[in-house]
Each structure stands twice: as C-alpha cells, then as structure tokens.
Structure 1
Amino acid sequence: MTGATGFVGGHLVRHLTARGHEVTALVRGGRDVPGARSVPGDLVTGAGLAAALRGVDRVVHLAGVTKAGDPRVYAAVNAAGTRRLCEAAAALAVPPRLVYCSSLAASGPGRRRHEDAPPEPVSAYGRSKLGGEWAVRDAADRLPAVVVRPPIVYGPGDPEFLPRLVAAVRTGLLPAVGRPGPRHYSLIHVDDLCRALITAADPGATEVGTYHVCDGTEHRWEDIGAAVAAALGRRAPRVVHIPGPLAMAAARLFGRASALNPDKVAEALHPAWTCAPGGRLPYRPAVTLPEGLRGALNR
C-alpha cells in the first residue's frame, strides 16, 4: 500500500488487518505504520519500490499530493509517481492486481457523472490524477489494474473537509465560491471507501476498469452544512457567495500551498461535482451522511 500514513490509508490498514491480511506499506521519512510492515521508499525517485512489492499479490495506491504551491508537484507525484509504480509492478514475474485510488476531479465537474463520460478535469490536481489513470491504462497489457474515483471523502480523522465545515458552522456562514445558485456534491464515508477499495482488489468481484463510488445521494451544499450543524447541536449556517475573481485573488495572494489555493478555487467555481448513482462496482454504501457525521464529530 502507498499512502498508508494518510487519512484514507490509516483506515484501510485497519480494515485489511481486521480481515487477516498482511500489509506492506511504502513510507517516506522512516515513518512506521502500526499493523503493517513498513518499507522506506519514495514514488518520485522509485526508491524502495522493489522491496515493497516483493511477495505481494495486491497493490493499493493511495499516495498523492492534494495541494501544492507549484502545480508541477502534482504531475511529479500523482502522474509520474503512479507511472513509476505501475512499471515496477508490471515488471514482476507475476504482476499483482493494482487498485489506483484516483479522484472525481479526474473526471471533471457536472451532475451525475458516469464512469464512461469523457474526462474533463479543470484543475492541475485533476489533470495529474487523470495522468495517473493514463499510466495505469498504458500498463494494462501487463498489469491487471482497477481505477476507483471517489468524490469528497470524510470521516473520523478527516484533516481538511470536516474541520473547514465545522469552522464555518461555528461562524454561522457557509462560503460558496462563484455565482449564487444551487451547488451539489457527492460524498463518501471513509469506511465505505475502504470497503469499495477492498472490493476492487478482489479479481473475483470486479473486472479491470474505472469505477465511480459515492454514498448514492446528490447532496446540496446547504444541506451538508445543516447536517454538520445538527451533529454539533447548532443552527444551520447561512450560505454566502464569494465572487470568483475575489476568491481567486485571495488564493493567489495567501493560499498557494493551503487548502484554499488557485487550483481548488478553479474546482470550487463549478457548482456540481456528483457521480451517477449505482456505479458498476459491486459494492453498496453503508454509512449515511447523518450517521457518518455523528461518528466523526461526536468523539
């Protein structure tokens, strides 16, 4: 597994070990992953890949850059790093099945996006994740691989999405970038995403291909804010619209390597990021938004 020290990765390690699987984690900086065999390495340089891949029959690729001051960093890690991993895995005598955790950002904005829709990413991040998908596709004749595109992921330990929503609820104002009007988003609880990734890793359950996953509901932005407020026992926040040019100027001035950077503003300007319900992956979400929020926030 790559990305085992991250938000999704930590949950996935626990899911896998609870099922009796042995996990090898490719880690940077000498970090240790509880419950896993940790192998030092780096996707950018390729260091440690051979040692991490030795003896494995599945690879789950979670590692990636989600915010960067220099857009070239996205491509170096998310696209080129994925290509390096695919080439190393494909070179093995018996290539393992690879599951690449991409993003709905690689597909692009819109309502009820289907897996077969032509990709139309609008950010450097989305283009880099699509570049990782192309790397998987280019190795398809040598490496059995599955691409999973989740939307916004939340749950216990969420480092960004929920903390920002909680802060907004406490101010009573829920910001929305761009023109006034409805906004719709797909979400998935981290435990549901872990179950989807495990399903994707099973060759008896899924064919090689690209799959969208979500909780099956198209959520309005104000309803997400209200659900967070309800979980916290507070009043629902009021949506306030921030003009796109103002948000972009602020991002360029203050937030190039933060959660609010020009790349994320480019995504936020689009009012819909949802995937079609009932995707092809044979898994069904188990966690509703109210349940997931209560579990994540009331700890």
Structure 2
Amino acid sequence: MSSESTVLIFGGCGFVGFHLVRHFVKTSTFTSVAVVSRSAANHDNHVDGATYHSGDLTDHDSIEQLLLKIKPTIIIHAASPSPVTGTPNEYEHVTIQGTKNLLKIAKRSKDVRALIYISSSALAKGPEHVNLDENHPLANTDPKSSAYARTKALADLMVLEANNPFPFSEPSVKETSWEGHLLTASLRFPIVYGTHDPTTIPGCLSALQKGQIAFQLGSGKNLWDFCSIENVCAAHSLLVQALLNPKRSPGAAKVDGEAFNIHDGSPHLFWEFARTVWKFAGHRPKNDKVTSLPAWFVLALASFLEWGYWIVTLRTKRPYNLGRQQVEYACFTHTYSIAKAKERLEFTPKQDFEGGLKEAVTWSLKQDHWDEKLKHVTLTN
C-alpha cells in the first residue's frame, strides 16, 4: 500500500458501516477514512477522525465527482436497503442500479484499486442452507426467492465479474494509474450482532415488550450461524491486506474476484439468539413451556399477509414482523462453511457469542432507551 491511502465506505452511517469506519480510524490502516451516505449530514453514527460526504449511489454524476475529490484507494460498499422492510423497487434502485454505477465509476478511476462488497448469506438459493460453501447456486436462479435475496445475489455476481486485476508483469504497480483495472471481492455475512444494531436486537426486545415470548415459529431445532461485529471488522482487515498487498504473486491463494463466507465459526439454535437477548434484558422465565407454531402454517400465513399488505400499500411497504423471509429465517437452518476464508484469508473467528450479545443488548438498553421501554413489563412468566 502507498504512503497515502484512503478507504471510502459507502453506507458508513449504517450499522455495519459505522463499525468499519471506527475500526479503520482506530487501526490507522489508512491515512484517511471517508464516508458517503445519504444521511451523512445528520446521522448520529459519526466517528471522529473520518470525513463525511452526502451522496446517493443512484446519482451517477455526483458519485463520480465525489470519487474525483476523495481519490480512494479502496471502496467498501455497505449501502443497502433494509432486508426486513425494504421493497422490490428499493432493492432494484439501490442494490442493482447503485452497484452498477459504483462499479462503472470505480473502474474508470485512476486511484481506486479495489472494491469490497458487503454481501449476505441470504443470497444462497433455497429456504434452507446447510453448511453451504461459496459455490452453492444463488437466489437469482430461484423464482421463489425474496426480492432482497435475489438482488443481493445479482449485485454480488456483478461485483465479482467486474474483477480485472493489474498484470503482475507491470512495473511499479502502486505508482501506476489504475484506470481500467479493479480488484473486487465480496464478504457474505449471516445475521450480524453488535452495538448500534437498529434491527435484530431491537426486534427481540420489542417481542419481549409485547409479551410475544411464549411462542416460536417452527420446531426450534434449526441452527444458524451468526457473526459478531468484531469478526466482521477482522474479516475486512484481512481482505483489505490481501487485496492491496503489492507483493502478491501469481501463485498466491486467489482472493480477488472471490466471495467469502464469514461468521463466528460455531452455529447456535436460531431461537437461542432471541432468548439470550431476553436474558440479558432481565427476563427470567418461571417455566420453559413454549408453544411452537408449525412451519407450514406460519409460511402460509406470512404469504397471505405479505401479499395483502403489499396490495393495500401499493407495494410501497412490507410487513415488519411476519414477512415470508423472516418466517423462513425462523423455521429453517442457515449454516455456511468458512473453510475458504480460513485458508485464503487466514481468518480465525473470535468466539464470544454471549459476551458479544451482552454488550450489544446493554448498549440498546441504555442508548436506545429500551430499559425505559421495558420498565413496566413483567420480565418473569
């Protein structure tokens, strides 16, 4: 890496993006850290030491001007509509068209050498994923897949196909214009947990507040891989180092143009996540009786409610609590092999599931005021 290097994080005010900004500022991997976000001017997730720029991936010309101004060495693409409440139009607009814009502009840049796409394990084909590797067919080949999974798969593939490495025979690669060349890779994550989480942990706490903890969807035997925000940041550091290493040789393990599954390294029961969140929020059950709703029933109900909801809202909104995608998450196993990341990136996940969850729940209780919201809730049942 040259003496002057900049990482530019699109979506750096979001949950994962915020932690990546803080990570790279703290580790001093780059001489400067820049963020582009639609909410850059007024978002609470700002990190001292980073610069913030307002921008929208779907606005080609403004993004091109920002890249000319910032001159990033590497781009991390973390911008994405919510997997829970985003609509097909939003996914098409941001995930597909926005990614196309960014790849086109990055490849024309003289400064950008690499682009990392923050992807999702949900892009794999089918409702159940059992120890899948990165070669499993993706959701873009499945007409029954959700709009989120399908567009994530298409964007992931676009990023990998855009890979065009600089010839190793070129002298002084680090000093040469990178126009026309770009190293790309994607990191695929399952459910990520940590502080500043706006979705998963608040969703669990909301269920506790509403007294919806005596029911579960499905048998409760389905396993999930989860990923701490600490492992997310560690994986990015390793991939950045591998992509920008000027001493890479043709015989080195290939990382550019590749996708990598990343998680904590050990699966847990899906419903264990929610119950652990409830425990750290102060819930102390008097009995362990839980009513299980059959998967076939809740899947049919979710499909009916989702279509009804979309008809009423003219396809502008999705149900927050009982969409088909959320039901499939709750009822089916989602586990993935990280052998490739261990071999090629030397990724060794830190395993502290309960410790990481405790820190995240404590943050939500204090900073998002869930302690106040739960104050009058009976935490024993």
Q: What TM-score, normalized by structure 2, do the two folds share? A: 0.71
Q: CA deviation at 1:239?
A: 5.6
**8 Å Cα contact 2:75/2:112 also seen in 1:** no
Corresponding residue of 2:255: 207
Structure 1 residues 183 and 79: CA distance shift in structure 2, 3 A = same
Corresponding residue of 2:305: 250
Distance (Å, rounded) in 2 between the aligned partners of 1:140 and 1:2: 19
Corresponding residue of 2:213: 173
Give, as a single letter, the amino acid of the residue that structure 2 aligns with 1:155: G
Corresponding residue of 2:353: 289
Q: Secondary structure at the match of 2:272?
A: helix
Structure 1 residues 76 and 266: CA distance shift in structure 2, 3 A = farther
136, 144, 159: which one pairs with 2:159? 136
**8 Å Cα contact 2:91/2:148 also seen in 1:** yes
Task: Give unpaired runs (5+ residues) of structure 1.
Answer: none
Matches within 5 A, 1:182-261: 182-202=221-241, 203=243, 204=245, 207-208=255-256, 209-235=258-284, 238=290, 240-241=292-293, 243-254=298-309, 256-260=317-321
Distance (Å, rounded) in 1 between the aligned partners of 2:86 and 2:36: 24
Root mean square deviation, CA, Å: 2.6
Deviations 1:33-57 (A, max 9, x none): 4332222221112243223323211
Identity of aligned residues (%): 24
Q: CA deviation at 1:77?
A: 0.8
Say if 2:105 is the partner of 1:88: yes
Distance (Å, rounded) in 1 between the aligned partners of 2:214 and 2:263: 23
Corresponding residue of 1:275: 336
Distance (Å, rounded) in 1 between the aligned partners of 2:320 and 2:202: 11
Say if 2:117 is the partner of 1:117: no
Q: CA deviation at 1:82?
A: 0.9
Distance (Å, rounded) in 2 between the aligned partners of 1:265 and 1:166: 16
Deviations 1:232-253 (A, max 9, x none): 3423673632621122333344
Structure 1 residues 110 and 239: CA distance shift in structure 2, 3 A = farther
**8 Å Cα contact 1:252/1:262 also seen in 2:** no
**8 Å Cα contact 1:172/1:235 also seen in 2:** no
Q: Report the structure number with the largest CA radius of gyration.
A: 2
Distance (Å, rounded) in 2 between the aligned partners of 1:176 and 1:274: 20
The worse-fitting range, judged by mean Cα deviation, of 120-129 and 289-298 is 120-129
Q: CA deviation at 1:273?
A: 1.4
Q: What is the number of residues matched between the two proteins? A: 298
Q: CA deviation at 1:79?
A: 1.6
Give, as a single letter, the amino acid of the residue that structure 1 aligns with 2:298: P
**8 Å Cα contact 2:302/2:324 also seen in 1:** no
Q: CA deviation at 1:225?
A: 3.0
Distance (Å, rounded) in 1 between the aligned partners of 2:122 and 2:110: 34
Q: What TM-score, normalized by structure 1, do the two folds share? A: 0.88
Q: CA deviation at 1:274?
A: 1.5
Distance (Å, rounded) in 1 between the aligned partners of 2:51 and 2:104: 22
Corresponding residue of 1:62: 78
Distance (Å, rounded) in 2 between the aligned partners of 1:278 and 1:174: 37
Q: CA deviation at 1:196?
A: 1.1
Give, as a single letter, the amino acid of the residue that structure 2 aligns with 1:195: A
Structure 1 residues 28 and 114: CA distance shift in structure 2, 3 A = same
Say if 2:128 is the partner of 1:79: no
Q: Secondary structure at the match of 2:138?
A: coil
Q: Which consecutive segments of 4 or more residues in structure 1 shift more than 6 A?
A: none
Q: CA deviation at 1:265?
A: 4.1
